[in-house]
Structure 1
Amino acid sequence: MGKPAEKAFYRFVVLFFNCLVTFGSYFCFDIPSVLQDQFQGNLTCPNSTVSNGTSANGTAECVEGLGMTPEEYNLLYAIYAWTNALVVIMAGFLIDKLGNCFGVFLFSFLTVLGSTIFALGSHFKGTSYLLPLMLTGRLLFGSGNGSLTLVQNRITSFWFKGKELALAFGLTLAFSRLGSVLNFFLTQKFEANFGLQWTLWGGTLLCVLGFLAAITVSMLDKVGMRQLGLDGAIQEESRKVRVQDVGKLSLRYWLLVLTIMFFYNGIFPFVADASFCPLVHDRLSQHCSTHLVHLKRCNCFLCQDYVGLRGVFAVGCAVLTLPVFALLAFTFVPPLVSTIWLGVTYSFAAASMWPSIPLVVPQATLGTAMGLATSVQMIGIGLSNLFVGQILGTKSSDAKIPLWRWQRMMIFMLGNTICCIVTSIILNIVDHRQGGTLNKTTKRNATEESPGTAEQDSLLQGQEEFDGDDPGQSISINRS
């Protein structure tokens, strides 16, 4: 009778709790986007005109809120991105050195602490403490949430290595985005009934539930390692990880990182600001169409498991995203069409890009590699949020932003998509010259793998060829 950790059900139990780790934090992350009216609303309104949106006849009414300007509001997202960019590099290295239990506990706790301070800041409306407290909360929240995703991906890539890896990645992302979807459906109604402050505290409670899930998955991971007899070997491999290993990351890895950065530069700032954009005048267009498609991500990742061709998908998604912002900026095509289109390409892009990273880096430095990738991505997103804030250009929370400024914002998104196309094409060229790892089809993979691989083989494989700067290099890989 085998040990529980050697059976398939055990790794799916790990996956279940691993999915729950970031559910609450993703819910919290997009609360400002859903409640942008309240964050940028007036500090006071005459009692007869207070509203949570628009009146029945379609005319805008006074929305009472925190009184933030567009620049201050975008700074909430920019500081989150900058914090990720700085913290995740060291976080990835620490995870490689100290293991998953340390990482998942620390970073999940930071999301709870950050969301708590963020909610507390909302009680200081109209004072000079409001913005510093809320920025501090987003800073701590960003320190935890981005790094927490690294641990989550690291756990997934070990327990499902060689076994439905892309599907497992898809499920973790789908659960995370389920938090975003429920945020869209529930947050506005909750805020209308209980107010902004209690809404933010509700998000904090969800982060606490994620913290409990993090403790559970860390225990399952540790017990499973012990049952498989890998805990000693893992600690030994962890001690070998050095900062100098970053220099061994291949050109393909860096091209993949740039491709991810440019693609997300056109997504996150768009989601953050589109609820105020007259070019996307329907909230259903901005949130529902985009986030509901995120729930279909597991299908996209399952497709990648069976089809492969990740490099080709990356180019295709970038090319197909190109018309979205042009349609929004210069045509009268209903915005629902463009945003659903964007949601579909986003889903397939995520399925092709992020699971490609474990294919081009050694497993022992996966945490560091994922941290660097997230850092570069967040640097780009943070700068993009700042640029968008400057493009929209108003200093007043109640000033109407002219249409031509929104068009310039869409042109900026369009430019990022063009850069994504360029880097993804170069990535495919380099990958082809180094063996075509990213574009291997299922048929090719099947002929290269020996038949009859046992369940435990996916967990215990000790050597794997790593196609880096030296195509013939072979590196021992274990997970810490």
Structure 2
Amino acid sequence: MTQPAEKAYYRFVVLFFNCLLTFGSYFCFDIPSVLQDQFQGNLTCPNATVTNGTTDCVEGLGMTPEQYNLLYAIYAWTNAVVVIMAGFLIDKLGNRFGVFLFSFLCVLGSSLFALGSHFKGTPYLLPLMLTGRLLFGSGNGSLTIVQNRITAFWFRGKELALAFGLTLAFSRLGSVLNFFLTQKFEEKYGMQWTLWGGTLLCVLGFSSAVIVSALDKIGMKQLGLDGAIQAESRKVRIQDVKLLSLRYWLLVLTIMFFYNGIFPFIADASKFIQDKYSGYSQKEAAYIAGAVYDSSLVLSASVGILIDYVGLRGIFAVACAVLTLPVFGLLAFTFVPPLVSTIWLGVTYSFAAASMWPSIPLVVPQATLGTAMGLATSIQMVGIGVSNLIVGQILGKSSETKIPLWRWQRMMIFMLANTVGCILTSVLLNIVDRRQGGTLNKTTKRSGQLERDSDREPLAPAEEPLNEDDDDDDDGDGVVRTRSINS
């Protein structure tokens, strides 16, 4: 008798709740970007004047640009350190352990961050908020690893890029709603309640973690893989990192350089738009900055389907990097409306995310997928953390109402330099991949390809790469059957 877990609908139900894991945490992540004026605003505005409906003083937490960017840097640095061990622990102890622990850390970190805002004008504000971001960073990046690992297990050999695209779309939906709703909410209820609202959304992620764990456990038992997966988990060793190939490391560097130009830019984009381009309110600037995520939200699923169909992931990686160069060129050296650049960046970001991250399961041993994802996320976050610190230094230490344009131009040139680095590593990645069989640039399955019954085919050994062109786990019903990715 066919079990529910053997049906295609079951893995999509798992995917839905898996997507909700990071919806709230991504909403919380960029709340400071929308409220940058308030974070860097004056503690009080006793002599504020109003000109043309706008005030020359914004009341807020009194942070300097350097302190503000430190909120993002400490998130990235903590993430970088924690995800290495988190990936190994997930490989060793399983997905269910990971989703509970890391979703709880997101709730705890966002709560402490919100609590810190109540200590405005005291020496406790910055330490509390930094500690909150530290815990939040410990949870969110690691939670993404578990999320990707669950997706890779249930969609191996199937709609892998589509599934990755949908998880990204849900995460970006949180980011998009943040850019659309946070400013309005803050105007009506104030900063403190806004931050606590973000915490409530992280609680939604924790609730989803409970459901995902239950579905995953039930599904594994129905597939008869629960005991075998636990046995495989005990075999994972930290020395397995040595199995990771040159293609993997080049792919990780490509991801790092690309994201170095995305997240540090978005963190300061709202203020940049207000400072450089005349006539934009804080709310309008937040909408324009959020267009990066708007584009990604709209395109992620369709781009995933496209890449599932045509493959060519390595070529897409190069194309995304090359096509991102004009974005920062326009922002640095022209006054073309910023919405053009943010939409453009959102498009290249969509293709990059759908082609780069799903490539990792194709070039690493299956049993070390969690560790590989952890290392990739760690290196990505190291790059982002360094970039946030550099941007903070470029923009200065003083709480200026308007940052000089020459400082913003230097920031965009720094983003351009990261994009050039992405081009170089992605070209090298394609060269190495071609010499090693061209796995990344293979076109995907032909429509008439025959599917094999997994009961008559051997399971893929743990040493082999997780190649989505391998159908040894497919019995024609869309079920993923593998002992190599741990639950």
TM-score range, shorter chain: over 0.9
Indicate the residue corresponding to 2:477 in structure 1: none
CA deviations on 1:123-153 (whole Å, 9 max, x unpaired) are 0000000000000000000000000000000
- Measured in 2, the distance between the counterparts of 1:388 and 1:152 equals 30
Does residue 108 in structure 1 map to residue 103 in structure 2? Answer: yes
Query: How many residues are aligned here?
Result: 463
Code of the residue aligned with 1:429 in structure 2: it is I
Q: Report deviation, 1:400.
A: 2.9
Q: Report deviation, 1:462.
A: 3.6
Q: Report deviation, 1:326.
A: 1.1
Code of the residue aligned with 1:345 in structure 2: it is T
Indicate the residue corresponding to 1:396 in structure 2: 398
Indicate the residue corresponding to 2:154 in structure 1: 159
Contact preservation (8 Å) 1:114, 1:141: yes
- Measured in 2, the distance between the counterparts of 1:118 and 1:92 equals 25
Does residue 318 in structure 1 map to residue 321 in structure 2? Answer: yes
Which of 343, 346, 355 in structure 1 is aligned with 2:346?
343
Question: SS where residue 327 of structure 2 aligns?
Answer: helix
Code of the residue aligned with 1:75 in structure 2: it is L
Q: Report deviation, 1:60.
A: 4.5
Q: Report deviation, 1:398.
A: 3.5
Does residue 452 in structure 1 map to residue 454 in structure 2? Answer: no
Does residue 190 in structure 1 map to residue 185 in structure 2? Answer: yes
The two structures have a TM-score, normalised by structure 1, of 0.93
Q: Report deviation, 1:330.
A: 0.9
Indicate the residue corresponding to 1:274 in structure 2: 269
Segment drifting more, 9-18 vs 281-290: 281-290
Contact preservation (8 Å) 1:274, 1:280: no
Does residue 251 in structure 1 map to residue 257 in structure 2? Answer: no
- Measured in 1, the distance between the counterparts of 2:276 and 2:384 equals 21
Q: Are the structure 2 counterparts of residues 465 and 310 from structure 1 closer, same or farther at C-alpha, using a change threshold of 3 Å?
A: farther
Contact preservation (8 Å) 2:366, 2:464: no
Code of the residue aligned with 1:69 in structure 2: it is T
- Measured in 2, the distance between the counterparts of 1:305 and 1:239 equals 32
Which of 357, 376, 380 in structure 1 is aligned with 2:383?
380
Indicate the residue corresponding to 1:211 in structure 2: 206
Contact preservation (8 Å) 1:362, 1:477: no
* Aligned residue runs from structure 1 range 76-95, under 5 A: 76-95=71-90
Q: Report deviation, 1:48.
A: 6.1
Indicate the residue corresponding to 1:17 in structure 2: 17
Contact preservation (8 Å) 2:366, 2:463: no
- Measured in 1, the distance between the counterparts of 2:427 and 2:48 equals 57
Q: Are the structure 2 counterparts of residues 340 and 247 from structure 1 closer, same or farther at C-alpha, using a change threshold of 3 Å?
A: same
Q: Report deviation, 1:299.
A: 1.1
Which of 461, 464, 467 in structure 2 is aligned with 1:466?
464
Contact preservation (8 Å) 1:328, 1:335: yes
Which of 50, 61, 66 in structure 2 is aligned with 1:66?
61
Which of 257, 261, 272 in structure 2 is aligned with 1:262?
257
Does residue 330 in structure 1 map to residue 329 in structure 2? Answer: no
Q: Are the structure 2 counterparts of residues 336 and 254 from structure 1 closer, same or farther at C-alpha, using a change threshold of 3 Å?
A: same
Question: SS where residue 341 of structure 1 aligns?
Answer: helix
Which of 426, 429, 432 in structure 2 is aligned with 1:427?
429
Does residue 358 in structure 1 map to residue 361 in structure 2? Answer: yes
Q: Report deviation, 1:91.
A: 0.1
Indicate the residue corresponding to 2:484 in structure 1: 478
Contact preservation (8 Å) 1:325, 1:411: yes
The two structures have a TM-score, normalised by structure 2, of 0.91
- Measured in 1, the distance between the counterparts of 2:42 and 2:228 equals 59
- Measured in 1, the distance between the counterparts of 2:406 and 2:221 equals 61
CA deviations on 1:1-39 (whole Å, 9 max, x unpaired) are 311111111111101100111000000001000111111
Structure 2 runs not aligned, ≥5 long: 467-481
Code of the residue aligned with 2:430 in structure 1: it is N
- Measured in 1, the distance between the counterparts of 2:400 and 2:414 equals 24
Indicate the residue corresponding to 2:474 in structure 1: none
Q: Percent identity?
A: 78
Code of the residue aligned with 1:301 in structure 2: it is G
Q: Report deviation, 1:229.
A: 0.6
Q: Are the structure 2 counterparts of residues 376 and 161 from structure 1 closer, same or farther at C-alpha, using a change threshold of 3 Å?
A: same
Does residue 148 in structure 1 map to residue 143 in structure 2? Answer: yes
Question: SS where residue 214 of structure 2 aligns?
Answer: helix
- Measured in 2, the distance between the counterparts of 1:460 and 1:60 equals 70
Indicate the residue corresponding to 2:476 in structure 1: none
Q: Are the structure 2 counterparts of residues 30 and 460 from structure 1 closer, same or farther at C-alpha, using a change threshold of 3 Å?
A: farther
Contact preservation (8 Å) 1:74, 1:385: yes
Question: SS where residue 399 of structure 2 aligns?
Answer: coil
Code of the residue aligned with 2:352 in structure 1: it is A
- Measured in 1, the distance between the counterparts of 2:227 and 2:88 equals 19
Contact preservation (8 Å) 2:48, 2:56: no
Q: Are the structure 2 counterparts of residues 460 and 90 from structure 1 closer, same or farther at C-alpha, using a change threshold of 3 Å?
A: farther
Q: Report deviation, 1:460.
A: 9.3
Code of the residue aligned with 2:420 in structure 1: it is I
CA deviations on 1:340-374 (whole Å, 9 max, x unpaired) are 11111111011110000000001110000000000
Question: What's the Cα RMSD here?
Answer: 2.1
Question: SS where residue 400 of structure 2 aligns?
Answer: coil
Indicate the residue corresponding to 2:438 in structure 1: 436
Indicate the residue corresponding to 2:473 in structure 1: none
Does residue 232 in structure 1 map to residue 217 in structure 2? Answer: no
Indicate the residue corresponding to 2:37 in structure 1: 37
Structure 1 runs not aligned, ≥5 long: 50-54, 469-475
Indicate the residue corresponding to 1:471 in structure 2: none
Runs of 4+ in 1 over 4 A off after TM superposition: none
